[in-house]
Structure 1
Amino acid sequence: MLLGQPRQMPLNTYQGWKYFLIVFVIGLGMLLALPNLFGEDFALQISNKKGTPVAEELVDNITKKLEAEGVKPFKSEVVDGRGLIRFNDQDEQSAAKKIAFQFIKNNEDENLKNEIVVAINLAPATPDWLRDLGLNPMKRGLDLRGGVHFLIEVDTDDLFEKEQEKVISDIKAALFEAGKIYHEGVNALNSKTVIAKFKSEEIRDQAFAAVNNRMTGYKIDDREANDLFNLHFTILPAKEQEIRNYAIDQNINILRNRINALGVAEPVIQREGAERIGVQLPGVQDSTTARTIIGDTRTIEFRLVNDKRRVEDVVASGRTPRDSELLFEGGARPWLILKKAILDGEHITGASTSADETGMPQINVRLDGAGGKKMSKETAKNIGRPMAIVLTDVSPIYKTDESGDYIKDEHGQLTVIDKKIDKEVVSAPVIQSQLGSQFRITGQFTQQEASNLALLLKAGSLKAPISIVEERTIGPSLGKENIRLGLESILIGFVLVLAFMLVRYKFFGFVANIALLLNLVLIVGMMSMIGAVLTLPGMAGIVLTVGMAVDANVLIFERIREELAEGVSPAQAIHNGYDRAFSTIADANITTMIAALILFAIGTGPVAGFAITLFFGILTSMFTAIMVSRAITNSIYGGKPVKKLMI
């Protein structure tokens, strides 16, 4: 060997750091997968609607009540602010729920009655030391656990009416601020275009200069009609999509907050398609309860009352001003309400009830920073004017047959033929002073009315109305059957592959089987780590991965056989087999990984569940088939004289 030349590693040997890396990854994967061995307990979950921690004293009192009624849990605790009372079987769990519900209902504390929620749950039986490390078992989807699935449609049409009102207001403000540029009208031309009219071309050019920089997301065209010089403001597709996406994302966040506050274990809330949201509530079997968990689908807005027209005159004439709506409070008292909202329920961060100076109920409202600024600005200009709280409820109208029964399509979905929009004024208190991030609403409320309104405000308003277009309930027995069949398919496929590899490749087949076992462990570990949800299609993805995982080893072993047939030495054949098969393995697996990523990105539900297990399966199979398999082979044959291979 020449001086300065690095020492060559013996054939079929790894550097020490590679062995360390392999042992570290496998050890970490085993640790991450470990929580899945402990199963789940039947549990009763005690949580607070506000999201605040539940007192240990309350959990202890419920436990004592259960024991007094003959239902004996084997453990009760408070985990992450929620009480968990664990039982040995489902019958005890069901009996305990009724007892705990009555205990809460009969409690003298009104706040306790309104805020505490009792829900049945399946709680992971993970040991405390694993939970302290932040390790949890893999989540199971609705098809493996049972529960309720809702498909919710978001009505985004109303968003563009509000957007047009905002655009019209912004154009008028820009023209005024630029030196009182006079116009002949600014109004909506159609659902996507606003038109501003001017007497001369010179005034139109001045208006264009004033509004051009403020109207991002809009295409501005100049046109002439009826001796007027006009500007057309047409919303661009990108801006239109941005408004839709924002509304749907906000609705998803609000639905997630409501469901998390009620303590449903492992809910899945995700966008499905352009304007739909899928909500899966594992473990929930009563669809009525599930609807309650999703909460009120109405939207909340604070609007000013139009005090420039007498509401009696509007009712008598039947002609409502273009900028207003005729709404009713309690179905009886009419109000003329401006369409433009001061702000919506998105900005509400809290609401509670208390008594005012005269002992009457009042509602205390808290807003976020942006909402507080809007409220302060608008109320400062409108002291002494009524401000209405408007609720909008959009409900679908389903297709029915002659007997009035709902008609379902071949997929079991109801057919929506129209929608019904109901708006009502809950209250219209007078603005008595400039309001900010915290203010109170007073009126002729009963305590129950005040509590109901506070709960509605506190729950958070949806950005756009929603309607449930599909509802499915999956029983727990079906979930258990799915798990049994899925595990059987994995086991059968696994055993057949192991047997084939042993018979076909002898010792090297044994090496591949070890890599395959470790591959399954790593898949489970990775899915547990990222909180991925295992579904029935996901189990199909694992079955496919079991078959594909040995494909890389087959390529390597067949290459070794070819090298031996050409008279290459056993040691060199092993080296060539792993090295020359690598590019083929990488190309085949990387293209499949790209396909899995595309499926996950554009697919929903079953497709996404299949794609995620396929992706992780390919990733781990490449690691185990190439690195782990070679490490085992190197540790046995590396740096040693080899006369014959068992392959």
Structure 2
Amino acid sequence: MLQIDRWKRVLIWTVCVLGLLMAVPNAFYERVEAHNDAVASLELGYSGNGLEEQAGMWPSWMPSSLVNLGLDLRGGAHLLAEVQVSDVYEARIKAMWPEVRDLLRAERATIGTIRLQPSDSAELRIKVSKPESIESAATLVRGLGRPVTSLTGAAASDITVNTEGGDIVIALSDAEKLATDERTVQQALEIIRRRIDEVGTREPTIQRQGADRILIQVPGIGSAAELKEIIGTTAQLTFNPVVGRGTNPDVNPGPGNEVLPSQDEEGLYYTVESAPVVTGEELVDAQPSFDQNNTPAVSFRFNPSGARKFGNYTAENIGSPFAIVLDGEVVSAPVIQAHIAGGSGIITGRFSVEESTNLAVLLRAGALPAGLEFLEERTIGPELGQDSIEAGQIACVVAFLAVLVFMFLSYGTFGLFANIALIINVGLIFGLLSMIGATLTLPGIAGIVLTIGMAVDANVLVFERIREELKSAKGPARAIDLGYEKALSAILDANITTFITAAILFAVGSGPVRGFAITLALGIMTSVFTAIYVTRLIVVIWFERRRPKTIEV
């Protein structure tokens, strides 16, 4: 029988109303966006600058979720960066020197004294005073090797130790270099994502391209230069023992040492040990603060491992200077006054409040494991994005009107019912996009336009089935009921196969392809819902009120 239970009617209309209500904020995009930004600022404790007025621009009881606009619609910055993975090799090898030195010094009676020799950046070269013991010394160093933590390098050592011309030469193995490259790019990817998230940008696209490249697209940001400032700073923090200080940058620092400029005092240079005692990788927190003179500073806290090393060194070197090095410059070199336990401290320097806040963000997000070389950078202006939005709007409106006119001319009153369902369908798509926080791009708009064309397919199948049933001299109520019943399998088959295609596009695609797949998949779900339930409910309500003896489809 042609009837729908009351609870089903209530549920169908409830879903429609909620979906359309979620879509409403997108019709007032700028107002709702200003409201959301103001509310977020107020929650963080900021006030003034008209934040309260902006927060009141949209009712608090109304949904305020928006469809995020992609780079091609909103404008923003595009960067393609190459990770300098070779930088990590040098850092790894340098960090091994203290461990190698302590190991060989313990065997001084057997191998004699040791001395670090000048060498390539990616290797350590060590001379022993007793050449006849060089092989035993090399065997000791090989014991420091660890298994490579990767499937391709299983059972291989992370270092190679050879003897050349009376020297022990230590370098990373090929298997370890491959594993290091993979870890470095993945770590850089995650740190870039954290840094961009820290400054509150909307829906960035950050993904790996090839072996050592990262694509970064951030909508709504002013320029590529601004984006580079956020992510381009390496923020490598280390704590190094000070060997000496002076004004000559060309002084010979000696093996295992390096000369670094002072960040605060121009013309002053520090000679520090290359191997740090503690690094920024062992930081667990960094926050902007003020020192005892009420000037901006950054307070920090180490993890247990870093705290132990930091505490042991300060206990053994009271009265010695200790350099805090940030990106190759000595921020400060305080003299250790006492044992610093607990693993916390403060970085002082000539910071402004903004600089201390940015430094804390960089340190908290983590140091980039290697430098970045920007191979491509583009700034997409908001004017171009607005042109894309207008072009997309025109395409949607033209497609929408064409479908509405076609359905009305082809199916009359029933076509009008299908048009009402189509309008609800488009609203539900935007409601779902807003609810899940999806990003809409130009391919996403193409998916919506395609959905508009596909949305009436189910209704066409139903209406044609009703026509056939009417020709077999069945009554209008029975014809409508059989039309929906017999068209259901064809509707489900067609939409399930298209949904599978959308799922495959989402799984193997990236960026714009995924945007198209998301809007297509959501459009399929809303189209099936409106065709099977909404249009049928409208037809049933019309039939119950009119009770026609005959109908024309």
| TM band (smaller chain) | 0.7 to 0.9
C-alpha distance in 2 between matches for 1:507 and 1:173? 89
Q: Deviations over 1:221-260 (max 9, x none)?
A: 4899779999958228566434421222122212321x23
CA displacement 1:155-188 (0-9 Å, x = unmatched): 3425632673488479869989xx99x999999x
Cα deviations by residue, 1:595-620 (Å, 9 ceiling, x for unpaired): 4423xx6322x444333322322222
Distance in 1 between residues matched to 2:336 and 2:43, nearest whole Å: 31
Counterpart of 1:140, as a letter, is L
| AA at the equivalent of 1:327 | L
Superposed CA offset, 1:455-483 (max 9, x none): 4532324522445541314144x444433
- SS of aligned partner of 1:620: helix
Does 2:45 align with 1:53?
A: yes
Deviations 1:558-578 (A, max 9, x none): 444456667776256314433
> Contact conserved, 1:429 with 1:441, CA < 8 A, in 2?
no
- Structure richer in strand, relative to its length: 1
What is the rounded CA distance, in whole Å, between the counterparts of 1:613 and 1:77 in structure 2? 34
2:216 to 278, 292, 300: 278
Paired position in structure 2 for 1:472: 379
The answer to whether the 8 A contact 1:22-1:627 is kept is: yes
Match of 1:428 in 2: 333
Q: Provide the aligned C-alpha RMSD in A.
A: 5.0
- 1:216: which partner in 2? 149
Given that 1:140 and 1:534 are in contact with CA atoms closer than 8 Å, whether structure 2 keeps it comes out as: yes
Q: Is the 8 A contact 1:353 1:451 kept in 2?
A: no
Amino acid at match of 2:30: E
Match of 2:486 in 1: 577
* Equivalent of residue 128 in structure 1, options 52, 60, 65: 60
Trace 1:141-180 onto structure 2 (pairs within 5 A). Answer: 141-145=70-74, 147-151=75-79, 153=81, 155-157=83-85, 160-161=88-89, 164-165=92-93, 168=96
Higher helix share: 2
TM-score in terms of structure 1 length: 0.64
- For 1:164, what is the secondary structure of its paired residue? helix
Matches within 5 A, 1:254-293: 254-257=195-198, 259-260=199-200, 267-274=202-209, 275-282=213-220, 290=226
Taking the aligned partners of 1:297 and 1:27, their CA distance within structure 2 comes to 48
Question: Which of these residues, 207, 212, 235, is aligned with residue 299 of structure 1?
Answer: 235
1:406-459 C-alpha deviation (Å, 9 max, x unpaired): xxxxxxxxxxxxxxxxx33333223333334432356xx6xx557676345323
Q: Say which is worse superposed, 618-627 or 227-236, in terms of deviation.
A: 227-236
Contact 1:297–1:467 (Cα < 8 Å) also in 2: no
Counterparts of 2:481 and 2:494 in 1: how far apart (Å)?
Answer: 20
Q: 1:252 to 1:572 in 2, by over 3 A?
A: closer
SS at match of 1:299: coil
- The residue number in structure 1 matching 2:501 is 592
Q: Residue type matched to 2:197 in 1?
A: R
Q: Distance in 2 between matches of 1:224 and 1:437?
A: 35
Tell me which residue corresponds to 1:365.
299
Q: Percent identity?
A: 27
User: Is the contact between residue 175 and residue 207 of structure 1 (CA under 8 Å) also seen in structure 2?
Assistant: no
Q: Which runs of 5+ in 1 are unaligned?
A: 1-9, 60-75, 79-83, 86-122, 261-265, 393-422
Matched, 1:537 2:446: no
Amino acid at match of 1:29: G
Q: Give the Cα separation in 2 of the matches to 1:24 and 1:518.
A: 12
Residue 413 of structure 1: aligned partner: none
- Which residue pairs with 2:9 in the alignment? 19
Q: Which segments of 5 or more consecutive residues in structure 2 lack a partner in the other structure?
A: 127-132
Offset at residue 555 of structure 1 (A): 3.4
Deviation, 1:642, is 8.9
Structure 2: distance between partners of 1:565 and 1:198: 101
Conserved? CA contact 2:246–2:268, under 8 Å: no
Contact 1:348/1:457 (8 A) holds in 2: no
Q: 1:612 — aligned with what?
A: 518
Q: 1:328·1:335 contact (CA, 8 Å) conserved in 2? A: yes
Aligned length: 515
Q: How far is 1:493 from its partner?
A: 0.6
Q: Residues 364 and 35 from structure 1, CA distance in 2 versus in 1: closer, same or farther, beyond 3 angstroms? A: closer
> What is the one-letter code of the residue matched to 1:129?
W
Counterpart pick for 2:192 among 251, 273, 276: 251
**Partner residue in 2 for 1:463:** 367
Contact map agreement 2:246 2:270 (CA 8 A) in 1: yes
Q: Give yes or no for the alignment of 1:387 onto 2:291.
A: no
